[in-house]
């Protein structure tokens, strides 16, 4: 049965993965991180990713037309050298969690990585 | 239970100023760091909760301000309070509640870790952010009922608590709000005044002027810090206030939160800290006046009954003026809805001053 460490190891096994973090976006806390951080500090990166997540979750534009309980599935940032995939995790108790994967653009495949990250997020919660 | 404490190395009074003494802890965080250095196992009990250590690492934290794993699980219907108590009674003494939750498939391993870490950091924030002193007691070899799920380095907990404190002050520097009964201001039902996000709407709907942020967190099964931050966001937007407590005037807003926890933490409270660790007198917990702690008022009592004492020991603030063009509701005392550039400036000045301390 996977725990946080197995989930993050699984994310780092995705082709092109540079870093993976499990972030509580109610507080900006990194519950766990693996790999190199884009800023050199996983804790600071988690807090900044939280700002992005919060902006999306709290905007009517991205959520108004969606299912009320879990309006967003993921946020993808495409940059020149890398991708950032931020996957929302649903838990039975109230928690606001995302799985953040930093992916090398040349080595990684965005569609495959997104698919795999979704499976990892589900396994983490469903066992 | 023993009243002896690991940090009780000396009863020499600590120097009131200067660098922290390496032996006598002045704050909860220093006490935990000291215990961690000694790879201690046991529970550190303070006025706002307890931290459990195993070999110097924090494995669990509890605080009345933060809902625990039990609240999360009963809140979402995974278990009933009766079943939970039974589980605790049978497996708590052996520290096997966590393992049992997974064995019975009430939680997956991942859910247990997520829930546990979330509640640990949540409770630890309230325990560590309490700089008011009070009585701290170390209970050697005490083990938490949950058992081994995750262990966190106390330095990490301390960094996180500091980050959260700064985050709250950036949102809206009004720490009194964290412990006060809160309620929506009168116009909150107008659609134009609904806050963004389902969670904050829900919070606003349950704030009734009697519930504190901690009550709301438990009621809604959410993290104590998450609710505290959302309450400050709602207050910053002018949608929620604490009816019985005057909001800081813009000038005070920048000064109060920084000084409330900082200033008195240095000299006078040191002997009461973990240094001596006398047995905790009954009722020493929430009843004592703390910076940021509030007098609970009975709804309907007169404003005169609430002394606007300043925790810094400065002269009491006059109650916020009631505007005459409205009914004399406490809503008139809520902070301005428009972010005040003065506050941002003063907050920055305060941060700079703090950084030089």
Judged by CB atoms closer than 8 Å, whether chains meet at B76 and A68 is answered as no
pLDDT digits (tens), chain B, 357 positions: 343 444 433 333 344 444 444 567 778 888 899 999 999 999 999 889 999 999 999 999 999 999 999 988 888 888 899 999 999 999 999 999 999 999 999 999 999 999 999 999 999 999 988 766 678 899 999 999 999 999 999 999 999 999 999 999 999 998 888 889 998 887 655 656 677 777 888 898 999 889 999 999 988 888 999 999 999 999 998 888 887 765 554 444 433 333 333 333 333 333 333 333 333 333 333 333 333 334 444 444 433 333 444 444 444 443 333 333 333 334 334 444 444 556 666 666 666 666 555
Q: What is the pLDDT of residue A93?
A: 83
Contacts by B78-85, CB closer than 8 A, 24 or more apart: B78/A92, B78/A93, B78/B106, B78/B107, B79/B106
Residues B88 and B126 in one domain: yes
Q: Which domain holds residue B256?
A: 172-260+321-357
Q: Report the C-alpha gap between B164 and B218 in whole angstroms.
A: 20
Contact B235, B174 (CB under 8 A): yes
B240: which 2 tokens?
Answer: 């929620």
B75 and B129 in a single domain? The answer is yes
Residue from the list A29, A57, A97 with its beta carbon closest to the beta carbon of B160:
A29
Radius of gyration of chain A (CA): 14
Backbone angles phi, psi at A30, to 5 degrees: -90, 110
Q: What is the predicted pLDDT for the residue at B286?
A: 37
H/E segment holding residue B141: none
Q: Same domain, yes or no, for B225 and B116?
A: no
Residue with tokens 């006078």: B268
Instruction: Tally the domains of chain B.
Output: 2
Q: Are A119 and A87 within 8 A, CB to CB?
A: no
| pLDDT for res B248 | 54
Q: In what order do the strands lie in the sheet with B49-54?
A: B57-62, B49-54, B42-46, B137-140
Please tell me the predicted confidence (pLDDT) of residue B2.
40
pLDDT of residue A94: 78
Q: How far apart are CA B69 and CA B106, in angstroms?
A: 12
Q: How far is the alpha carbon of A114 from chain B, nearest alpha carbon, in Å?
A: 20
Q: Report the residue of chain A nearest B195, measured CA to CA.
A: A58
B221 domain residue, yes or no: yes
Task: Report yes or no on B38 lying in a domain.
Answer: yes
Query: Is B117 within 8 Å of chain A by CB?
Result: yes
Clarify whether residues B135 and B91 are in a common domain. yes
Q: List beta partners, residue A78.
A: A83
A127–chain B nearest CA distance, Å:
5
Q: Where are the beta strands (DSSP E) in chain B?
A: 42-46, 49-54, 57-62, 137-140, 183-184, 240-241
Are residues B232 and B328 part of one domain? yes
Residue contact B113–A4, C-beta within 8 A = yes
**Are B107 and B188 in the same domain?**
no
Q: Which of A4, A93, A126 sits opposite B75 (nearest CB)?
A: A93
Helix (H, G, I), strand (E, B) or coil at A28: coil
Q: Per the domain annotation, does B316 fall within a domain?
A: no
- Work out the angle between the directed axes of helices A42-57 and B154-171 (0-180°, nearest 10): 40
- Is A91–B115 a contact, with Cβ atoms under 8 angstroms apart? yes
Q: Decide if B278 is inside a domain.
A: no
Closest-CA residue of chain A to B222:
A94
Closest chain B residue to A27, measured at CA:
B226
Q: What is the DSSP string of A2-22?
A: --HHHHHHHHHTSTTEEEEEE
d(CA B348, CA B352): 6
The structure tokens listed for B289 are 């006046």
Is residue B150 located within the same domain as residue B245?
Answer: no
Q: Which residues in B lie closer than 8 A to residue A94 (C-beta atoms)?
A: 72, 75-76, 220-223
* CB-CB under 8 Å, B221 with A4: no
Q: Which of B143, B80, B85, B152 lies closest to B118, judged by CA?
A: B152
Q: Same domain for B141 and B178?
A: no
Q: Rounded to whole angstroms, how far apart are CA atoms B295 and B81?
A: 31
B72 touches chain A (CB under 8 A): yes
Residues B218/B65, Cβ–Cβ less than 8 Å: no
What pLDDT, on a 0 to 100 scale, did the predictor assign at position A59?
Answer: 86
- When computed from its CA atoms, the radius of gyration of chain B, rounded to whole angstroms, is 21
In a domain, B96, yes or no: yes
Q: Which bin fits B104, alpha (ψ -120 to 50), beta or left (φ > 0)? A: alpha
C-beta atoms surrounding B337 within 10 Å = 14
B157 is a domain residue: yes
CB of B197 within 8 Å of a chain A CB? The answer is yes
Which of B161, B196, B226 terminates a domain? The answer is: B161
Domain with A63, as residue range(s), is 4-126
- B113 touches A: beta carbon within 8 Å: yes
B357 and B230 within one domain? yes
Give the pLDDT of residue B313.
40
Is B114 near chain A, with CB under 8 Å? yes
B148 and B224 part of one domain: no
List the CATH number of the domain containing A19. 3.30.450.30
Indicate the residue among B101, B131, B161 that finishes a domain: B161
- What pLDDT, on a 0 to 100 scale, did the predictor assign at position B14? 40
Averaged pLDDT in 10-residue chunks for chain A of 127 residues: 92 97 94 94 94 91 83 94 95 88 96 96 91
Q: Does B229 touch chain A (CB under 8 A)?
A: yes
Is any Cβ of chain B less than 8 angstroms from the Cβ of A126?
Answer: yes
Instruction: Identify the DSSP state of B303.
Output: G
* B1 falls within a domain: no
Is A26 in Cβ contact with B229 (below 8 Å)? yes
- One DSSP character per residue, B205-261 reads HH--SS--HHHHHHHHT--HHHHHHHHHHHHHTTSEE-TTSPPPPHHHHHHHHHHHH
pTM: 0.73
Query: If DSSP codes are grouped into helix, strand and coil, which group holds residue A42?
Result: helix
Portion 292-331 of B in contact with A at CB < 8 A: none
- Domain shared by B176 and B42, yes or no: no
Alpha carbon of B192: minimum distance to chain A alpha carbons (Å):
13
Within a domain: B272: no
Do B103 and B136 belong to one domain?
yes
- pLDDT value at position A91? 85
Tell me how many domains chain A contains. 1
């Amino acid at each position: 049965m996977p725990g946080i460490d197995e989930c993050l190891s699984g994310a780092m096994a995705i082709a092109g993965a540079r870093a993976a973090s499990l972030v509580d976006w109610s507080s900006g806390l990194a519950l766990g991180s693996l790999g190199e951080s884009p800023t050199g500090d996983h804790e600071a990166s988690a807090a900044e990713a939280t700002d992005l997540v919060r902006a999306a979750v709290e905007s009517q534009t991205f959520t108004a037309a969606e299912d009320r309980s879990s309006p967003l599935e993921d946020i993808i940032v495409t940059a020149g050298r890398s991708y950032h995939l931020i996957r929302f995790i649903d838990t039975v108790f109230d928690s606001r969690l995302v799985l953040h994967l930093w992916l090398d653009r040349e080595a990684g495949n965005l569609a495959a990585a997104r698919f795999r990250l979704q499976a990892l997020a589900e396994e983490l919660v469903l066992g | 239970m023993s009243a002896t404490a690991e940090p009780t190395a000396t009863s020499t009074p600590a120097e009131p100023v200067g660098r922290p003494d390496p032996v006598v802890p002045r704050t909860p965080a220093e006490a935990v760091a000291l215990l961690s250095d000694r790879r201690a196992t046991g529970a550190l009990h303070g006025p706002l909760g307890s931290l459990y250590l195993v070999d110097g690492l924090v494995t669990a934290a509890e605080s009345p301000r933060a809902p625990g794993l039990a609240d999360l699980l009963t809140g979402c219907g995974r278990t009933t309070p009766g079943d939970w108590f039974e589980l605790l009674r049978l497996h708590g003494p052996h520290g096997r509640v966590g393992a049992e939750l997974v064995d019975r498939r009430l939680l997956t391993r991942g859910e247990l870790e997520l829930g546990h870490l979330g509640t640990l950091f949540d409770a630890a924030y309230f325990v560590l952010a309490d700089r008011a002193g009070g009585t701290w007691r170390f209970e050697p070899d005490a083990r938490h009922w949950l058992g081994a799920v995750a262990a966190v380095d106390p330095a990490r907990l301390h960094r996180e608590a500091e980050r959260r404190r700064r985050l709250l002050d950036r949102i809206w520097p009004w720490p009194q709000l964290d412990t006060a009964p809160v309620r929506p201001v009168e116009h909150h039902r107008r659609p134009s005044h609904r806050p963004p996000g389902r969670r904050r709407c829900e919070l606003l709907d349950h704030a009734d002027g009697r519930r504190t942020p901690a009550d709301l967190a438990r009621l809604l099964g959410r993290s104590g810090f998450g609710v505290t931050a959302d309450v400050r966001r709602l207050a910053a937007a002018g949608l929620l206030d604490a009816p019985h407590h005057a909001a800081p005037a813009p000038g005070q807003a920048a000064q109060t939160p920084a000084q409330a926890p900082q200033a008195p933490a240095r000299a006078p409270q040191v002997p009461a800290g973990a240094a001596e660790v006398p047995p905790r007198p009954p009722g020493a917990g929430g009843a004592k006046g703390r910076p940021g702690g509030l007098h609970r008022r009975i709804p309907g009592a007169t404003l005169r009954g609430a002394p606007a004492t300043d925790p810094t020991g400065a002269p009491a603030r006059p109650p916020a003026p009631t505007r005459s063009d409205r009914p004399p509701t406490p809503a008139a005392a809520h902070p301005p809805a428009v972010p005040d550039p003065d506050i941002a400036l003063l907050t920055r000045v305060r941060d700079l001053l703090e950084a030089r301390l």
